[in-house]
Amino acid sequence: MTGRFITLEGGEGAGKSTQIKRLAAALEKKGLTVVTTREPGGSPGAEEIRALLVQGEPCRWDALTETMLIYAARADHVKRTIGPALVANKWVISDRFNDSSFAYQGVGRGLPREFIRRIDSIVLDDFSPDLTLILDLDVEIGLKRAGARGGAEQRFENFDKDFHQRLRQAFLDIAARSPDRCVVIDANQSEDQVAAAIWSATQKHFSL
């Protein structure tokens, strides 16, 4: 079967990492070869840039600089990880992709959507996921979960609550604009219920 590209999107603490592992396992049971990855990061060069983006104070970068760093990482990610895997007919599941730029740097930080779209077009040349699963979760619950993880990668979690509320709505708006590609998953459910909803949406989308 031809390789496919699936992304999981959503706010902080939505459970994307856990659900990616479960989705990958379900696809592998179907006999598919699966590559799991993440953004920012997913390739050696992009992982180096990741540290600049997810550590430090929220004000460390302005929105423009942040966007340029993210797309530099994304270009390397696509060239060295996603692209080669798809050519080899592997299925790729990524924790975040370009929808996060439109949500975080666009709606969240106020960068004009058209500006991001132009950068996106230059870097990705209209390349996009085959399916995007948006995990929608109450902001307070998500931030509580994210805070419990601890560690140095807390920069985005440390933006104010209004920022995270804007993110949640931004992802819902993205889903509404692209209903053929995006499916909203209620992440307020149990882990097993979320996994079941994700698997149902994936089976339906790809006729598995």
**CA distances (Å), origin 83, targets 45, 127, 128:** 15, 10, 11
Residues in Cβ contact with 104 at an 8 Å cutoff, skipping those fewer than 6 apart = 156, 167
pLDDT tens sequence across 113-144: 999 999 999 999 989 999 999 999 999 888 88
Rounded Cα–Cα distance for residues 157 and 192 (Å): 25
Q: Is the pLDDT of residue 1 over 90?
A: no
Global pTM? Answer: 0.95
Task: Identify the CATH class of 5-206.
Answer: alpha beta
Q: Is the pLDDT of residue 152 over 80?
A: no
Residues in Cβ contact with 23 at an 8 Å cutoff, skipping those fewer than 6 apart = 6, 8, 93, 195, 198, 199, 202
Nearest to 130 by CA among 40, 2, 17, 32: 2
